[in-house]
Amino acid sequence: MGIDGGPRTAVVIGAGVVGLSTAWFLQERGVDVTVVDRDGVASGASWGNAGWLSPGLAIPLNEPGILRYGLRSLLDPSAPLHVPATPDLKLWSFLTRFAVNCTWKSWGRAVQANLPFNEECLEAFDVLTSNGVEAPTVEAPIMAAFKTPRQAVALLHELQRINRSGLHIDYTAFEGDDLRKQAPQLSPGATAGIRLDGQRYVDPGGFTHSLAQSVIARGGTVRSGFPVTAVDDDSTSLTVRSSTGDSVTADAVVLATGAWLNGLGESWGVRVPVRAGRGYSFTVPTDEPVSGPIYLPAVRVACTPYQGKLRVAGTMEFRDADAPLFPRRVDAIIKSARSLLTGVSWEERTDTWVGPRPVTPDGRPLIGATNAPGRFVAGGHGMWGLTHGPVTGRMLAEQITTGKQPAALRDFDPTR
């Protein structure tokens, strides 16, 4: 420990955007950091997501509409929200808890809890990109498109509720030809849209790798092929052990393994379960350049400019985090989006991917100290781990080094 009682060294388990952000901000506070990962940098949800930095759409998943929708579509393998038939009792217990939290009261609490994160998340990215993280963030509005004006009403109501909560989002509604002028990839099948201003996007894998390079350049270590099996007390320090026989010793340990958080987390007193809400993505060429992100809320598909093409991401599939990719889910994304988009070469898709997003039943992530001394958790961000990754790292680094819980983390206490 340092002279002031704070840790001098830390191990972060997980080399995604949340873990690496925590490592980076710990370095800002003078802590020597080692990051370890079972597979490598950005090997989980940080690689293939839509890349949105979108405080305007970082909305908790547990709103009542998702429950009504989910009950109708639960066992349909082509539906955007899918739970395969399974005897997994822990999964059904999780889904029951999730359903109990699909109320406006619980949703509203999660919105309020997220408010400081949404207000500060873009600034946290700016701190990183101004101080050695070379991947750019691109400012662009997100255009949400619908088949009918009636479909747009649900998002309008949600945005109004968000604005009443205290977070201000600028948005404009469009119809018909005015809509297609905003995004040439939208087909005549899209007749209504809502443009959300003040948003950004990144190449998520590129950003996460750049963040890792910055951690290394600042004196940190990033180790791949390090599957953690245990964290043991060793008199005045903690030893992180790998199944390969390797170990790293430090004053503090941060668990940031996303959808794999439950294993070690449960032994540290984390009682809120985290399940893998798996998302799929792929990349396709377009006839015209893509000017900015496109969102298709009715079918839950997000599209983003990506390396001169279009990354298409979607679905929420509750299945084991390490399960293989199911091509039928990719086909379902294409089927649902095809009628709303034009000039897209669906048959030339590349980079087909599936990754597990860590979902909690109450719509709030798990960030902070656990019941085990020196052990901290950062995870459970659902679909917004990229948007909230850097601000999570900044606030958690403050708690780790000062021993004081920031007010913004109270509702995210991992031992709740």
Per-residue pLDDT tens for 65-94? Answer: 776 655 565 666 666 666 776 777 888 899
Of the candidate ranges 30-34, 165-169, 220-224, the one whose mean pLDDT is the lowest: 165-169
Whole-number mean pLDDT of the chain? 92
The mean pLDDT of 283-295, rounded to a whole number, is: 94
The mean pLDDT of 291-318, rounded to a whole number, is: 93
How buried is 173 (Cβ within 10 angstroms: 0-12 exposed, 13-18 middle, 19+ buried)? middle
Tell me if 70 sits within 8 A of 317, measured CB to CB.
no
Give the model's confidence band at 3: pLDDT under 50 very low, under 70 low, under 90 confident, else very high. very low
User: Which pLDDT belongs to residue 90?
Assistant: 86
Taking the CA atoms of 202, 120, 257 and 142 in sequence, report the sign of the dihedral they define. negative
Please state the separation of Cα 305 from the chain's center in Å: 18
Whether 400 has a pLDDT exceeding 90, the answer reads: yes
- How many residues are present in the chain? 416
Left if phi > 0, otherwise alpha if psi is -120 to 50, otherwise beta: which for 374? left
Q: Which residue has the higher pLDDT, 5 or 363?
A: 363
CA atoms within 13 A on the CB side of 242: 19
Q: Which residue has the higher pLDDT, 251 or 90?
A: 251
Residue with tokens 């393998």: 77
Whether 303 has a pLDDT exceeding 90, the answer reads: yes
Residue with tokens 């899918």: 82
Q: What pTM was computed for the model?
A: 0.92
Q: Which residue has the higher pLDDT, 235 or 4?
A: 235
The mean pLDDT of 52-63, rounded to a whole number, is: 85
Residue with tokens 């088949």: 147
Q: Domain segments of the chain: what residues?
A: 9-412
Q: Which long-range contacts link 167-172 to residues 24+ away (Cβ below 8 Å)?
A: 167/55, 167/115, 167/118, 167/119, 169/55, 169/56, 169/196, 169/198, 170/196, 170/197, 170/198, 171/56, 171/195, 171/196, 171/197, 172/197
Architecture of 9-412 per CATH?
3-Layer(bba) Sandwich (3.50)
The mean pLDDT of 164-179, rounded to a whole number, is: 86
Left if phi > 0, otherwise alpha if psi is -120 to 50, otherwise beta: which for 30? left
Q: Which residue has the higher pLDDT, 204 or 111?
A: 204
Please report, as a single letter, which amino acid is at residue 192.
Answer: A
DSSP category for residue 261: T
Per-range mean pLDDT, top range of 106-115, 159-168, 207-216: 207-216
Q: How far apart are CA 192 and CA 147, in angstroms?
A: 6
User: Which pLDDT belongs to residue 62?
Assistant: 83
Distances (CA, A) of 213 to 21, 135, 347: 12, 11, 35
Q: What is the pLDDT of residues 187-219, one digit of tens each?
A: 999 999 999 999 999 999 999 999 999 999 999
Q: How far apart are CA 207 and CA 242, in angstroms?
A: 27
Q: How far apart are CA 409 and CA 204, in angstroms?
A: 25
